[in-house]
Chain A
Amino acid sequence: MRVVEKEQVMGATEMDRTIQRLGHEIVEKSGGAGNLVLIGIRRRGVPLAQRLAKAIRAIDGSVVPVGTLDITLYRDDLSLVAPQPVVHSTEIPFSVDDRDVVLVDDVLYTGRTVRAAMNGLFDLGRPKRVRLCVLIDRGHRELPIEATFVGRYVQTSDTEIIEVRLEEVDREERVMLVERVP
C-alpha cells in the first residue's frame, strides 16, 4: 500500500492566516477569553492549540491555558490495531471543571477521535462547555459530531487522506491531499 501526493491544500502562509482567523473567531464567540481553555488532541492538535493560544494572546492579551490530551486509551478500535499504539501522557495541569473548553485537532474525519477525546476529557472533570476547533474538516462523519470552528472544508473520497504537516512535528508546513494506492 503506497501513498501518493495529489495536491497541496494549504501552504504555510495560508495556514498561518487561517489560525489567526480561528483565533479571532474563538475570542468573538466566547465572549472574551476569560474562562477559555484549549486542549490539543495528540499529536498534531497540540502545536495547533499552542499556536491558537499565541494568536489569542496577540488579539486580546489573555493567556489561555493549554493542555494535552492523549486519546489512545479511549479509542474504540484497539482490538483491531496492531502494532499496539503507544500510550502517551495526558497533561492538563489545571482543572477543567466549569471551564469553557475548546478541543483542538488537525483534521476532523469520522468523529471517532473526538468522541474518544470527550470521554477522556470527562474523566477529568465537568466542563461548562465543550466546542471543537479543527484546521480541516474533510467530511465522512460516522458519529453525530461537528466542529464549531473550522479552518477549511475539503471534499475527500474514501481512499484519500488529508495530511497536516506542522513545523513542530514534521519539519515542514503544509496541508496535503494524498491518496492511498494499492
Chain B
Amino acid sequence: MPHRLRHLLGIEPLSAAQIADLLEQAKPFQEIQRHPLKKLATLRGKSVALAFFEPSTRTRISFATAATRLGADTMQLQAEASSLQKGESLLDTVWTLDAMKPDCIVMRHRSSGAPHFVAQHLEIPVINAGDGMHEHPTQALLDALTIRDRKGTLEGLRVAIIGDILHSRVARSNIHLLAKFGCRFTLVGPAMWVPRELEDLAPHVRRVARIEEALEGTDVVLVLRVQLERLHEPALPLDEYIHLYQLTPERLHRAKPDVIVLHPGPMNRGVEIDPVVADGPHSCILEQVTNGVAVRMNLLYVLIGGPPLGMEETHAAD
C-alpha cells in the first residue's frame, strides 16, 4: 500500500494503484463471508461511529455488519432521532460523538462536502458514506469489485449509466473510479439531469439522447434509482421516465452478450428496471451487496486496524 490512507472522503483523489490495492485486499474479506463463522476479533476493542444524517438502511447495515464481523463495536446516530432536529450544528453533533472516543466515523450527509468539513475538525479517520450529490466512494469500490470479479478486469470497459446523473453521487464516484482504468462512458437520462458539464468529469464521457444508443455494445450498465421528486424542480412524470429510460430485456439485448447490470439499490422494480432484468443472469445486484460488506471490512481494517496515527512503531512481523 503506497502510503497509509487516512480518510476516505472520495474516489477522485485516489490513484489507480491505491484503488487496485483496496480491491485486491477486499478479497480475503469476500472469502470470510463464506465461512460458517464470520466473526473475527481483528478490531476487537475498537469502535466505529456511524453518523447517518440522511436516512439509509442498506449502507448503514452494511457498515455495521462490516464493523461487527471484525469484532468492533458500533455507535449509531440516527438522523430522525438526532439532536440536529433540535438545532444542534453538524460540528457540535460530531464533536459530541467524538467525545465518546470512537476510532473512526462513517458519515452520510445530505450536504456535499460535509465529510471534508468534519475531517478538518477531527483527529480520527472519516469515511464518506455518501455526501449530497458529490461522492459515495464505498459504493464505487464495491461496484468495481463486482465488475472485476465478473469481467476479470476494469481496464477499458464500455460503461453505460442511465438515469438522473446530475444528482447522483454514485454516478460521480463510479465515473471517477472507472476512468482511472481507462473506461469509456455513455450517459443517458432526462436532459435536464444529464448536463454537458458531466462530460468534463473524466476523459471519454459522452452523452446520448436515447437509451438504445447508450446500450449499444456496452460491457457494464449502471442503472440509477429514480427519485422523481426533486427539491426546487418541477417533477418528471413517472410514465415518461419508464417509457424513455426503463432498462428492459429488449433494450439490454443491444449490449454485449456478457453485459452485466449494476444498481446501487434500493430498486424501484418496474420503474428504472424491468423485474426480468433485475432477476436475470446479467444482474449483479445481490453480489454488489455481498461485496459491499467485504469492501467495507477491508476499509475499516486499513483505516483503524493498525496503531492510531502518530503511535506507530515498526515491529518485525512474528
Contacts and interface: CB of A to CB of B under 8 A. Distances in A.
Q: Is there any pair of Cβ atoms, one from A and one from B, under 8 angstroms apart in the complex?
A: yes
Nearest to A109: B318
A73 B41 CA distance: 8
B18 to A, nearest CB: 13
Contacts of A88: 28
Nearest to A89: B28
A91 B31 CA distance: 8
Interface string A85-112: 1111111000000000000000001101
Interface stretch (A22-30, A74-82, A148-156): A74-82
Nearest to B305: A78
Contacts of B37: 122-124
Contacts of B25: 86-87
Contacts of A122: 37
Contacts of B42: 73-75, 78
B41 A70 contact: no
Interface in B230-272: none
A122 B37 CA distance: 8
B306 A78 contact: yes
Given A87-B298, A109-B318, A123-B37, A82 B28 contact: no
24 contacts: A73-B28, A74-B42, A78-B305, A79-B305, A79-B306, A79-B308, A80-B307, A81-B314, A81-B315, A82-B306, A82-B307, A82-B312, A82-B315, A84-B4, A84-B301, A84-B302, A84-B305, A85-B317, A87-B298, A89-B28, A89-B31, A113-B318, A123-B35, A125-B36
A83 B317 CA distance: 10
Contact of A110 (B27, B314, B318): B318
B313 interface: yes
B1 interface: yes
B40 A84 contact: no
B267 to A, nearest CB: 31
B40 A73 contact: yes
Interface of B: 1, 4, 25, 27-29, 31-32, 35-42, 70, 298, 301-302, 305-308, 312-315, 317-318
A119 interface: yes
Contacts of B302: 84
Contact of B313 (A82, A90, A123, A124): A82
B307 A81 contact: yes
Nearest to A122: B37
A125 B38 CA distance: 11
Q: Which of A78, A80, A88, A119 has the most CB of B within 10 A?
A: A78
A124 B306 contact: no
B8 to A, nearest CB: 15
A83 B318 contact: no
A87 B318 CA distance: 15
A87 B297 CA distance: 11
B315 A77 contact: yes
Given A78-B306, A124-B35, A70 B313 contact: no
Contacts of B4: 82-84
A79 B37 CA distance: 23
B27 A89 contact: yes
B296 to A, nearest CB: 14
Interface in A44-84: 70, 72-75, 77-84
B305 A70 contact: no
A73 B27 CA distance: 13
A167 B113 CA distance: 52
Contact of B301 (A73, A83, A124): A73
Contacts of A70: 28
Nearest to B312: A82
Contacts of B1: 83-84, 86
B41 A74 contact: yes
A70 to B, nearest CB: 6
B27 A84 contact: no
